[in-house]
Structure 1
Amino acid sequence: IEEMAQKVQQMNQFNMNSCEVAQNLVGGLWGKSDRMSSEICKSVGNSQGLFSDWAKSRHECGTGGQRASTIAANSDPDIPAQSYNFTWEMLKQSYPSFSTEFREYLMTFVGTVIFYQDGDASGKRGFQFVGQGDRALLTALLDGTSSVTMLNCDTNDKCLNPTTQAMSISASQALKPRVRAMIESMNAKVRSNAALTLQDHDGQRCRNPRRHDQQRHE
């Protein structure tokens, strides 16, 4: 019984409220890239003691010409002083145990906003909105028998230039049948007082829709 309760708790931990994700993303947006870099400069300068007061920070981050050097001196990982994928960074910080594949799935599901700092090596500037959220993705994960388009990160670190890739999930690979089979197996073990198998213990399989038994199409 205790092991079953632990499995249920594990599965509950993987639920993500897409509204909360959207609110956090919106909260990180400041408008135009110039205004954003100015606000970042002031936040860095004031929070890290680089300026004596708010008026000083406004001057130095504006006409004072200290914006670039102040941002470069940032030591707070929560302040996006460089190019930044908001959903990706949030997932890495809040859910460090999630696999790269599962983070990509969640980012595809809720979408993301990528900020490119001036002078970024990619040559891009400002904001890019990637993905609009796809209900078909949730259906495919739960029930299978459908094809979806997933976002794939170019790097696991920052994921600033994600691409798309087609993926299909069969009914046997979907979450509902696998969770049902796991619960039925655990229920039978409880009734017969038998030990759980390795498959019963493998709750991680339910949280990674792409690592196990998937088919990818170029």
Structure 2
Amino acid sequence: LALQATVPEIKTAKDFLQKMASDINSMNLSSCQVAQGIVGGLFPQTQVSQQKVCQDIAGESNIFADWAASRQGCTVGGQSSSVRDKASDKDKERVLKNINIIWDSLSKNRMLDGNKELKEFIMTLTGTLIFGEDSEITPLPARTTDRDILRAIMEGGTAKVYHCNDSDKCLKVVADANVTIARDKALKSQITKLLTSIQNKAVSDTPLDDREKGFISSTTVPVFKYL
């Protein structure tokens, strides 16, 4: 419920991945088979979609002489990566290259600004997909049943999580790093601080900062109604 109220897009992702895990477990597949299945199923689809993205970008930028040349360049010609690097702002989100899907989504949530540990814990809970330089896929399965992770996210504590070894995009991940969330950086404390600040500003008629606005816009709970 806390995830649904504060980071709804992550709650949706968690539910989706949890259902996937349940469906997979019902078929008695090993985690290794599951990973192979995810990559085997997604990689061909990713290749096709990224070829289309490459050709769209090439067409808009007049990179190739004609459609046949763009198809050649975006497939066996080996120019897909360099063409996709030229994506305009409207096409950048279509490019699945050097991106950690869940980390990228979490990084857009202002409530999690400057809280790397909490983002790592949430990413571990939901699982994620990492797309490399050539759109190769590394799946990191969800750990939705790990009570230590859930407890640490809500109240603070230590658990084994997916830890980012690079500073920004989280493309290099260590699978079982012991990471601690301080109590004041856990979700309960963060929400309490935000609600107190919003309430005080409502009383004093002071403008909200970007983080507070981001919290109100992302939560499904009508915050002002209760304040």
Letter in 1 for 2:168: D
Q: Which aligned pairs between 1:61-80 and structure 2 lie closer than 5 A?
A: 61-62=74-75, 66-76=79-89, 77-80=92-95
Matched position secondary structure for 1:78? helix
Q: How many residues align?
A: 168
Contact 2:152 2:158 in 1 (8 A): yes
Shift of 1:16: 4.7
Instruction: Measure, in 1, the Cα distance between the counterparts of 2:13 and 2:73.
Output: 35
Contact 2:127 2:142 in 1 (8 A): yes
| Structure 2 CA distance for partners of 1:18 and 1:58, relative to 1, 3 Å | farther
Aligned residue number for residue 133 of structure 1: 143
| Structure 2 CA distance for partners of 1:80 and 1:22, relative to 1, 3 Å | farther
Q: Which aligned pairs between 1:60-209 and structure 2 lie closer than 5 A?
A: 60-62=73-75, 66-76=79-89, 77-80=92-95, 82-92=97-107, 94-98=108-112, 99=114, 100-118=116-134, 126-135=136-145, 136=147, 137-142=149-154, 148-163=159-174, 164-167=176-179
Q: Which structure shows the higher helix fraction? A: 2
Matched position secondary structure for 2:143? coil
Q: Which runs of 5+ in 2 are unaligned?
A: 18-37, 197-202, 204-210, 216-227
Q: Percent identity?
A: 23
Matched position secondary structure for 2:125? helix
Contact 1:85 1:114 in 2 (8 A): yes
Structure 1 vs Structure 2 CA RMSD: 4.6
| Structure 2 CA distance for partners of 1:30 and 1:50, relative to 1, 3 Å | farther
Letter in 1 for 2:170: C
Matched position secondary structure for 1:150? strand
Shift of 1:117: 2.0
Aligned with residue 43 of structure 2, among 25, 31, 48: 31
Shift of 1:161: 0.9
Aligned with residue 12 of structure 2, among 5, 16, 19: 19
Letter in 2 for 1:80: V
Aligned residue number for residue 200 of structure 1: none
TM-score, length-scaled by structure 1: 0.53
Instruction: Measure, in 2, the Cα distance between the counterparts of 1:64 and 1:21.
Output: 38
1:175-209 deviation digits (Å, cap 9, x = unpaired): 66x69x98xxx8xxxxxxxx9xxxxxxx99xx9xx
Higher gyration radius (CA): 1
TM-score, length-scaled by structure 2: 0.51
Instruction: Measure, in 2, the Cα distance between the counterparts of 1:170 and 1:67.
Output: 43
Contact 2:163 2:173 in 1 (8 A): yes
Shift of 1:148: 2.4
